[in-house]
């Protein structure tokens, strides 16, 4: 890397950290109230989860569409578009609360998925100009920035409700209003400061700046996976780890509530889980650079299995097993996601990199949505321990990804 590109890379990471932290506040501030707002509007507990489910599906679609924008116009255009669409979704959620329209809320939730996709895609922007030896560290630094939003967002729910009350709108719409402002600020950060665009700079340095990929985005991604089996394994490992995490995490509050755990204790357990997901990602990135991506993928799989055993053995309510299990669930997810995402950046050819990354994130979100839907059925029929056994089967996908990507044939095909 030339000194100029090295300076661009350092600036890029700083801008991504700032944008990610602000944008994550916009996402997480509404998470705590989305199901409550859906329940109040619909008048039904059974429809309370529809808003978050719709947001996950919206994120899957947006991951694919934003990748197409980035492929032609660069990372900045994709990030700004995702955040602006998400901000529009947040404002629609506010309007839905005012007019009490469930249909409008679901449309807003789907649009909010674009911000989720943009924030997920930001980690890849950190790898465009990063040397292979430090690529995982760059990616994991951006993942770590999500910690700020994950911690700060839910704590702003109360003040946001107060603001909504003063504005004469339903208190539960306040978090979406404040979240929309956060998304607009993050979009402004990227629009003004993410210059030069890291993807376009990488293409120019490689002499492919004028190249226009042919075929469909999905077709290009499939072709890249066909030529590099390790790339497909990495995508599968990311999706499997995300499905394990989502399926267990969303049902844990119910498991604890059945045992009489107080809401504040449940909230603290989820906070510990989020800490495991993001706070240690720089160390995970360092390990992926030093020990190799496949090794950290296998470590992540092992940590996930230990977490599932602890959760399966936890009694209803509050226990040390559930605290430790949820923390390790987040940490295992971090290991698998950082290592798997870096593998995707390593193996995807530069000219189709955004297509592959968008397909990977879409697969991740769709798999998580399916796992989340199955989780409720499993717990309702067989119980929480059975859910962890089901998640253990999914964790085998992470093990397979580590094994396949570690084979000699699983070396880089891209630059």
- pLDDT for 275 beyond 90: no
* pTM score: 0.90
Triad 51, 329, 17: Cα angle to 5°: 70
pLDDT at 29: 67
pLDDT at 413: 40
- Phi/psi for 103 (5° steps) reads -60, -45
pLDDT at 414: 40
Q: Are 348 and 225 in contact (CB under 8 A)?
A: no
pLDDT at 144: 94
pLDDT digits (tens, 9 = 90+) for 381-390: 999 999 999 9
The CATH label, of 2.40.50.60, 1.10.760.10, 1.20.1250.20, 3.40.50.720, for the domain at 217-410 is 1.20.1250.20
From the CB of residue 305, how many other CB atoms can be counted at a distance below 10 Å?
20
Topology match between the domains 1-206 and 217-410:
yes
* Proportion of the chain above pLDDT 70, given as a percent: 92
pLDDT digits (tens, 9 = 90+) for 336-383: 999 999 999 999 999 899 999 999 999 999 998 899 888 888 988 999
Closest CA to 98 of 43, 183, 50, 37: 37
pLDDT at 263: 65
Q: Between 55 and 234, whose confidence is greater?
A: 234
pLDDT at 76: 97
pLDDT at 211: 60
pLDDT digits (tens, 9 = 90+) for 279-324: 999 999 999 999 999 999 999 999 999 999 999 999 999 999 999 9
Q: What is the domain partition of the chain in residue ranges?
A: 1-206, 217-410
- pLDDT for 26 beyond 80: no
Q: Domain 1-206: which topology?
A: Growth Hormone; Chain: A; (1.20.1250)
The whole-number average pLDDT for the span 13-40 is 81
First to last CA, the chain: 12
Q: Rounded to whole angstroms, how far apart are CA atoms 14 and 78?
A: 18
């Amino acid at each position: 890397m030339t000194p100029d590109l090295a300076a661009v890379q350092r600036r890029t990471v700083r801008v991504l950290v700032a944008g990610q932290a602000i944008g994550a506040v916009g996402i997480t501030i509404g998470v705590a109230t989305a199901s409550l707002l859906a329940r109040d509007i619909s008048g039904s507990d059974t429809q309370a989860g529809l808003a978050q489910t719709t947001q996950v599906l919206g994120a899957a679609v947006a991951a694919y569409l934003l990748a197409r924008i980035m492929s032609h116009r660069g990372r900045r255009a994709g990030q700004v578009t995702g955040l602006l669409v998400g901000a529009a979704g947040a404002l629609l959620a506010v309007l839905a609360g005012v007019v009490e329209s469930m249909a409008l809320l679901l449309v807003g939730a789907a649009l909010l998925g674009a911000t989720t996709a943009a924030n997920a895609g930001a980690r890849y922007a950190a790898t465009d100009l990063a040397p292979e030896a430090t690529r995982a560290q760059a990616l994991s630094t951006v993942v770590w920035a999500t910690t700020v939003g994950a911690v700060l967002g839910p704590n702003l729910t109360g003040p946001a409700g107060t603001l909504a009350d003063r504005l004469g709108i339903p208190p539960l719409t306040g978090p979406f209003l404040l979240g929309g402002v956060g998304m607009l600020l993050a979009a402004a950060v990227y629009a003004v400061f993410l210059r030069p665009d890291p993807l376009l700079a990488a293409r120019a340095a490689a002499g492919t700046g004028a190249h226009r990929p042919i075929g469909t985005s999905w077709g290009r991604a499939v072709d890249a996976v066909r030529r590099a089996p390790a790339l497909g394994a990495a995508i599968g490992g990311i999706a499997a780890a995300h499905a394990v995490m989502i399926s267990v995490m969303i049902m844990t509050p119910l498991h604890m509530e059945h045992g009489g755990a107080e809401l504040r204790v449940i909230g603290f357990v989820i906070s510990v889980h989020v800490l495991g997901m993001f706070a240690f990602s720089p160390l995970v990135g360092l390990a992926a650079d030093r020990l190799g991506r496949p090794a950290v993928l296998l470590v992540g799989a092992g940590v996930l299995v230990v977490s599932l055993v602890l959760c399966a053995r936890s009694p209803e309510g509050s226990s040390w097993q559930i605290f430790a299990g949820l923390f390790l669930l987040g940490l295992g997810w971090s290991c698998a996601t950082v290592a798997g995402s870096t593998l995707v950046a390593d193996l995807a050819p530069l000219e189709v990199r955004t297509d592959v990354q968008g397909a990977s994130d879409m697969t991740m979100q769709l798999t998580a949505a399916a796992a989340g839907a199955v989780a409720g059925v499993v717990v309702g029929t067989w119980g929480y321990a059975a859910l962890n056994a089901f998640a253990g089967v999914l964790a085998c996908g992470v093990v397979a990804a580590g094994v396949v990507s570690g084979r000699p044939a699983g070396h880089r095909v891209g630059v």
